[in-house]
Structure 1
């Protein structure tokens, strides 16, 4: 054989070897290595990940990854830290997150006095007549209750005393109730409410709590909130942009690269389109249209779904608010509240509209996501979904209808999720926050048989989409991960966790924040795992969530967030 022929064959073999190690001859724009990398796919862990622009081009051994490196490749040495796919907030309120940063954030208040003090401080800088708004108080989480209460809630008098010239409205942490001072109720024409000695003033789908004389206490439950909120000045374009930017920043700091926005109006759609056009949308938003605006829904049913080619802002789902929250006793129950006999909560949206929307969803390709916390609300929604699916059987192959929260279920309804292929979107941190007092609302039997039934649902064959419901809870995904695997409060109680048989494994919990959350938005082919071809979104932590001792999980911090192949957050610690 001639030397020329031998050299030629050697060249071909080298070319083949190179082609096998880097089949597309791609060069990486970023190479990540030097730590534990959980892929959340069949590979489990890898030594290195290479990305080109905003896509993953390699996941495997560090030796093989070298083939993708050039002088232009950005090298990210994890230095022993841990990386997962970018986390997905599976149910939250993006603008609520941002506005919580702008307005009074009451989520960490532990008493009525703390609320009064926060408002009194804000009054010092507010102009007379200027509205003071906030969110986050929760009477069941306070260390103590004030001397004067009505049906377990505080009254407005102490709040009104520190804010005589400013209308004040403070939303409950759940968003399903609100607390107004005298000035706000005066503007709404309600301060002298008393109807011939009637002690309870109700609004369809809600109620105004009143004292023994028939006057409002300041607490407005569910849809009765509109009596006050309709008088609050509309948000401005400037505050909307600022709130949006603050929400993006909070997502980056918490390792959130995608966000399921649970119910947005037309104004927010316009804002998001503008933010995307200006290059400010550096969190992927999967938006649900608000079901409160029937005209908006009909417009989109006619127009059709919007799946963004840039994978930044997608609209293909509808959010229906069908009952209230447990904390405000608005969740719709099959049996009365244990701590309020005769009261069953509230149906906040007609069930006929749920069926009508489900039919339209099937006809026009929209996912339907219905808020349900109480066991009756969950049953009624499953019933309406089933009727719609039976009416249009040809359109049911991959509907992925969801129930948002699915917190309290009758045991008979648990297997129906898998049977109907309905996805439960459950925020594990709610169990951590609510379980200590939820037993007062529901009693032991209902708690143990049907509350926060994560493992039973997973074993039935349905994925769970995790999240925080921010700003109901802080957006911190570490807290929700901890709650998922420990079933404890964030103070680490009780020993062994509440109903420990319902704990998620760490693998299940991570998947609920990544691949299963992506599945809940029809996006499992583009995100949710570190797989070649998927988007280059990653979250990096200072310790290994999957192996660290349980009592140290909450010490975990996000130290870097990579979005679309670029570092968008890096801890300064």
Structure 2
């Protein structure tokens, strides 16, 4: 069926302000673009956009789909600003599983950055409970959880993490990075069928925001990777049309490579090896060259330089790319040293995830390498209200310097790191173009133009996974994947972005969401 879309603001995203009158779609691809008069006779049906705005469908370049799917259906503490409200929510949580896993604790939003203790959790619930901090790099657990996991005050800290202890050596219940990951893994009871439910839920959520694809990292958290992968196979595209690029966690990467797994045509592709090198600012585990203000803490180094380089070599053995989480400047330097020593093959690029605080030297080194950057616009307004207090004003100048990165020739794609932040791309566009959440404007010289901001969700996102020849712009031969908004997001005032809605999402020429 040849379908013609017309009578709207149809932005191709090939060049700034480039628009076409009409787009003809057939068999999931764009057949041709041009004027309504030249294309109308080829159409078997027509769709009047009634002045709405059509763009290439959006892509979120870094998230955790299964985790987001769970959060959409379980207790989240996100946005709570009262300690008693937090405690009451945890107490009234009535999950039916053996463990309770609760999302979204954020002490930055509580009075005096209140951190709930193991003793308070013990009073609230006698069920093994993990309360994840908003960044999923830390959390607090009760005594039942520690007991079920076989952990006590004599348990040594794992490599790349630690169990927090008080001045008497007693466990506080707070666990960080690999220690948190271990407790989270203990709480997992997932099956392929339960993960399918999570995926179907999250795909509906994502398409309602205009996304047709995401790059996601889920393979190492829910029993073995096969449990998760089978859920993807059975959901996409059998039940839901959606495009995913699956990053492969360092712990399961080689096993997945050796399994010679099947990709699903244009729907499921396997991506780079995912590596974690440090933590986050909120947990003060991002690895820094200099200590956090008022402390002797420089953060958490997950891999030694030697082990990091071994992981890079493992990926190179398969002629593969790496995708590395780093937030602190010391972590950035370690990653760059590893890939300078073991460069990626010609025609490929490594993926730098977060790139939160940089320096002139780091920028210079990155600009000389075939790297692309996953950046998270919502981190800016989540972190900057308090980040200068723990980093100091000088280092804070180099936080989330997106325009500077682009000016240095770096290639950026935008994401939410959901469920860490909201997936809503309109909020992301607002932050990129205003550097504000409605109050303070942070480093206004780093604001992007509207076109540059939208590029990060469209053609730039496609280039990250080498699909710029078929995705990310409106052109003949490209996917018939479109996002339709009720306002012209390229021309409206910045604050009007927050009052704009996605009204339709089209994937493979099929409407998968309509408001």
| Partner-residue secondary structure (3-state), 2:368 | helix
Q: Once structures 1 and 2 are overlaid, which stretch shifts more, 260-269 or 512-521?
A: 260-269
Does residue 544 of structure 1 match 2:491?
no
Runs of 5+ consecutive residues of structure 1 not aligned to the other structure: 1-27, 196-200, 390-394
Q: How many pairs align?
A: 509
Tell me if the contact between 2:65 and 2:218 (Cα under 8 Å) persists in the aligned partners: no
Return the alpha-carbon distance in structure 2 between the equivalents of residues 188 and 34 of structure 1: 60
**Partner residue, 1:445:** 394
Aligned twin of 1:272: 232
CA shift, 1:285, in A, is 0.4
Provide, for residues 441-480 of structure 1, a one-character-per-residue CA deviation record: whole Å limited to 9, x for no partner.
21110011x2101111101112101010001112111111
1:470 to 390, 402, 418: 418
Q: How does 1:147-166 map to 2 (within 5 A)?
A: 153-163=115-125, 165-166=126-127
Counterpart selection for 1:109 from 63, 77, 80: 80
Aligned to 1:260, the other structure's residue is in SS state strand
Tell me how far apart the structure 2 counterparts of residues 305 and 48 of structure 1 sit (CA, whole Å).
40
8 A contact 1:373–1:406 mirrored in 2: yes
Q: Is the 8 A contact 1:91 1:259 kept in 2?
A: yes
Relative to structure 1, the CA distance from residue 425 to residue 126 in structure 2 (aligned partners, 3 Å threshold; closer, same or farther) is closer
**Alpha-carbon displacement from aligned partner over 1:258-315 (angstroms, at most 9, x marks no partner):** 1101352323223222323x6124210001111123xxx234445668664x210001
Partner of 1:368: 322
Which of 207, 215, 228 is the matching residue for 1:252? 207
- In the aligned structure 2, how far is the partner of 1:359 from the partner of 1:190? 34
RMSD over equivalenced CA pairs, Å:
2.1
Please give the TM-score of this superposition, normalised by the length of structure 2: 0.94
Q: Residues 306 and 316 of structure 1 are in contact (CA less than 8 Å); yes or no, is this contact kept in structure 2?
A: no
C-alpha separation in 1, matches of 2:109 and 2:3 = 45
Structure 2 Cα separation of the partners of residues 263 and 442 of structure 1? 31
Secondary structure (helix, strand or coil) at the match of 2:112 reads: coil
* 1:282 corresponding residue in structure 2: 241
Residue in 2 aligned with 1:139? Answer: 107
Provide the C-alpha distance between the structure 2 equivalents of 1:186 and 1:386, rounded to a whole number of angstroms: 44
SS of the residue aligned with 1:117? helix
Aligned-partner Cα distance in 1 for 2:451–2:241: 27
Quick check: 1:203 aligned with 2:158? yes
Change (3 A) 1:549 1:61: same
The match for 2:307 among 330, 342, 353 is 353
| Alignment match, 1:130 | 98
Supply the distance in 2 between the matched residues of 1:213 and 1:357 (Cα, whole angstroms): 38
Equivalences for residues 513-552 of structure 1 within 5 A: 513-552=457-496
Q: 1:145 offset after TM fit, Å? A: 3.3
Q: How does 1:59-458 map to 2 (within 5 A)?
A: 59-70=33-44, 73=45, 75-122=46-93, 125-126=94-95, 130-142=98-110, 144-145=111-112, 153-163=115-125, 165-190=126-151, 193=153, 202-265=157-220, 266-267=225-226, 268-276=228-236, 279-293=238-252, 297-302=253-258, 308=264, 310-339=265-294, 341-389=295-343, 396-448=345-397, 450-458=398-406
How far has the Cα of 1:67 moved from its partner? 3.0
Q: Distance in 1 between matches of 2:286 and 2:3?
A: 48
The question of whether the paired residues in 2 share the 8 Å contact of 1:107 and 1:473 is answered with no
Rounded to whole Å, the distance in 1 between the matches of 2:345 and 2:120 is: 54
Please say if residues 415 and 457 of structure 1, whose CA atoms lie closer than 8 Å, have aligned partners that are also in contact: no
What's the secondary structure of 1:396's corresponding residue?
A: coil
State how far apart, in whole Å, the 2-side matches of 1:260 and 1:227 are. 24
Deviation per residue, 1:87-143 (Å, 9 max, x gap): 001100111111112322222222333321221221xx446x83211211221133x
Q: Larger radius of gyration, structure 1 or 2?
A: 1
The Cα offsets for residues 221-259 of structure 1, whole Å up to 9 and x where unpaired, read as 111114533432421233211111111111111111011
Change (3 A) 1:211 1:357: closer
Q: 1:56 aligns with which of 15, 22, 30?
A: 30
Greater mean alpha carbon deviation, residues 464-473 or residues 165-174: 165-174
Q: TM-score, normalised by structure 1?
A: 0.84
Report the Cα distance in structure 2 between the residues aligned to 1:331 and 1:464, rounded to whole angstroms. Answer: 21
Give the Cα separation in 2 of the matches to 1:228 and 1:89. 28
Tell me if structure 1 keeps the 8 A contact 2:293–2:390. Answer: yes
The Cα shift of 1:203 comes to 3.4
Structure 2 CA distance for aligned equivalents of residues 87 and 560 of structure 1 = 12
Taking the aligned partners of 1:305 and 1:101, their CA distance within structure 2 comes to: 29
Contact persistence 1:34–1:48 (CA under 8 A): yes
Contact 1:455 1:504 in 2 (8 A): yes
